[in-house]
Amino acid sequence: MSALAGKPMAPITGEVNDQHKVLFHLPSAIASQKPMLMSYTSSILSTTVGFPLDSLKTRMQTHSFNSAFQCFLYTIKSEGYRGLFRGIAAPLVSTSFSKSLGVSIYIFFKTPVTEIRDKYLAYTKLRVDEHPQRNSILNNIPTSLFAGFLSGSLVSLFACPFEFTKLFSQIQILVSKSTASAHNSAQAAPKSTLRVARDIVATDGLKGLYSGYRYHLMRDSTSTALFFTIYETFKMALGAISPDDGYVQGSSIPSGPIVIIISGALSGVFTWATVFPIDTVKAMYQKDIVANILRKRNGEERLPLRKVKIQLFNRRMYRGLGPSVTRSIIGTVVFFSAFEYLMANVA
């Protein structure tokens, strides 16, 4: 009998398959950190696969390109294929660790958040005796939202410096070419992630690494809440209506991986489409910071920072959405597929 039979597929739990299916056993000293280790491994894969699209997204948000293809061709022509992976060192460390930390914090908070909900908000809890599958899914939504919000908020404290360093690396050549001292700036632009971070600190101090943090916090708290909630909701709902034998009807294809892929893709699309205007404002604000750092480094005066408002119905806010959504779909599917597989097959 499939794990799907008679109940929705469980959300992120870390349950292990039968012992004969286990790939290997973690040493007892680190077994308690299994969610973090498995999510870190999965995130390295998803970050590497999606990074070129993330680079195109950032360039389109901060500069005027007519299409993603034009941006791609310009990047290849001016920087070579290496330009698509410029700044990947920081996210390979930070994004992977941030996501693994986020998963661990999310799992940690789900239990106390559920207890608080049941204790103090019992009157809002749906009855579970009439439609247990449907109600368990609906009852999971507020828990996932709040636990995800807390997770994203806490992780942003760690992730912001690394992400700003990544953005600096991605756009510094484009920005330097638009300044008066373009040639000198382009020649002096630091190449390594560590040199970029040092340059930011040397110019603006440690607080420079947190440039645009309010936008980062707003984006990550919202996106993490939606990310886990949408994924778990669709996974549980699709699992509940899947055939009891665990296979796609009329075939020998397991339904579990299909459910994970669909749920991950939908989570990636809806999450990024929702928070993309916030991400655009963050990128535009940080672009001005990058320009001022380059100007100061070349002995020029800083320019006033532009005031950019979040406008949900302004097309300018969605420049680069195509590459971003594509990257999000690919990255999310890769992440959850690898994560769920490792969680189920590593003891």
Task: Please state the domain extents for the chain.
Answer: 35-345
The reported pLDDT for the residue numbered 195 is 85
The first and second tokens of residue 51, run together, are 């990074």
pLDDT in tens, 106-161: 999 998 998 888 877 654 555 555 666 777 888 889 999 999 999 999 999 999 99
C-alpha span between 57 and 59 (Å, rounded):
6
* Strand, helix or coil for residue 13: coil
pLDDT at 172 over 90: no
C-alpha span between 311 and 317 (Å, rounded):
7
Longest dimension (CA), the chain: 71
Determine the average pLDDT of the residues in 320-337: 88
The reported pLDDT for the residue numbered 133 is 76
The reported pLDDT for the residue numbered 344 is 84
The reported pLDDT for the residue numbered 8 is 47
The reported pLDDT for the residue numbered 86 is 83
The reported pLDDT for the residue numbered 6 is 40
* Strand, helix or coil for residue 325: helix
**Nearest residue to 142 (alpha-carbon basis) of 122, 171, 162, 172:** 122
- Per-residue confidence band for 241, with pLDDT thresholds at 50, 70 and 90: confident
DSSP 24: B
* Strand, helix or coil for residue 179: coil
Residue 17 CB neighbours (<10 A): 15
Helices (H), 241-254: none
pLDDT at 223 over 90: yes
Q: What is the mean pLDDT of the chain?
A: 82
More confident position, 267 or 79: 267
pLDDT in tens, 272-322: 999 999 999 998 899 899 888 888 877 888 888 888 888 887 888 888 888
CB 76 within 8 A of CB 148: no
The first and second tokens of residue 168, run together, are 């600096």
**Nearest residue to 162 (alpha-carbon basis) of 71, 89, 270:** 89
Work out the angle at residue 208's Cα, subtended by the Cα atoms of residues 193 and 216, and round it to the nearest 5 degrees.
85
**From 3.40.50.11890, 1.10.20.10, 1.50.40.10, 3.40.50.300, which CATH number describes the 35-345 domain?**
1.50.40.10
The reported pLDDT for the residue numbered 70 is 92
User: What residues contact 113, with CB distance under 8 A and at least 6 apart?
Assistant: 143, 146, 147, 150
Amino acid at 126: L
C-alpha span between 2 and 261 (Å, rounded):
18
**Nearest residue to 168 (alpha-carbon basis) of 211, 202, 207:** 211
The first and second tokens of residue 238, run together, are 């699709």
pLDDT in tens, 28-71: 888 888 888 888 899 999 989 989 988 888 888 888 888 889 99
Output the CA–CA distances (angstroms, integers) from residue 21 to 34, 144, 342, in the order listed. 17, 30, 11
For the chain, the first-to-last Cα distance in angstroms comes to 22
The reported pLDDT for the residue numbered 35 is 83
